[in-house]
Amino acid sequence: MPPIRGSEFRDLHQPGNPFVLANAWDKGSAKMLAALGAQAIATSSAAQAFTLGRLDGGTITRDEALAHAQDLMSAVDLPVSGDFEDGFGDAPDVCAETVRLSGEVGLAGISIEDEDFAGNAAYPFDLAVERVRAAASAARALQGDFIFVARADGVMNGRYDLAEAIRRIRAFDEAGADCLYVPLPPGPEELRHVIAATNKPVNALAVGPLSQLSRADFAKLGVARISLGSALARVSHRAIHDAGRAIIKDGDFTQLANGMPGHEVDALLR
């Protein structure tokens, strides 16, 4: 079994001294981010879906997610964490099995959401907590350290308000989660309330209004980890869209001059 790098990964989670968890979408992007100084890599379920020509949200299977994570692990000498959506099933036992399988392939951790993709809704509170409890218990049963992140996605998805998100992460904390995550609170003050609700490390997503904050700003708020989600992949998709549209619609090739020189890409990939 590959070594679990959870201890190394856990040491990075320091409230007030956040590291950037760089979400990659293939071996090349993972290697480039590592060469640029990333301390840990994560998958992005949305970015993986996009590379497969699929929509975001419940279109990736567990086997595909695990295989993709293994690809990234083979490309970099860093801890890798999995963005594993709803854990690939409703039942707490399924979430626990997802954690066990993640540990077996050598992931340093994973995150699981409280979003029911099939039902297009948030899981009911009690079921959401039981899912976290089962996953956290499975994480503690692994041979090595493993960082289990419990996500409360209802604010981002319009399922519930910030007060409910805070109620959930407090319960997720008590259920054994190692790190808590409320994607897309409306702004820094709301993020501050999230951080104050737990003594565990908190992950912040650097998109929307929070993309205007610097690492120093996140540090002042007490964030332990800053993830990119699919945002960096979407930057590359914007480049494809804008240059491709200019080429196909207008016969304008000038944006191709903005590309990164091949020898610079080669240097990072080495």
Q: 6-230, which class in CATH?
A: alpha beta
Rounded mean pLDDT, 3-21: 93
pLDDT at 4: 61
CB within 8 Å of 21: residues ≥ 6 apart: 40, 41, 42, 81, 203, 225, 226, 227, 228
pLDDT at 119: 87
- Distance (Å, rounded) from C-alpha 4 to C-alpha 213? 32
- The pLDDT tens digits for 109-146 are 999 999 999 889 999 999 999 999 999 999 999 999 99
Q: What is the rounded average pLDDT for all residues in the chain?
A: 97
Regarding pTM above 0.85, the answer is: yes
Q: How confident is the model at residue 258 (pLDDT cuts 50, 70, 90)?
A: very high
CB within 8 Å of 53: residues ≥ 6 apart: none
Residue spans of the domains in the chain: they are 6-230
Residue 268 corresponds to which tokens in the numbers above?
Answer: 């990072």
CB atoms within 10 A of CB 239: 13
Residue 216, amino acid: A
pLDDT at 225: 98
- The pLDDT tens digits for 59-109 are 999 999 999 999 999 999 999 999 999 999 999 999 999 999 999 999 999
Q: 3-state SS string over 69-91? A: HHHHHHHCCCCEEEECCCCCCCC
Eight-state DSSP code of residue 187 = S
CB atoms within 10 A of CB 265: 14
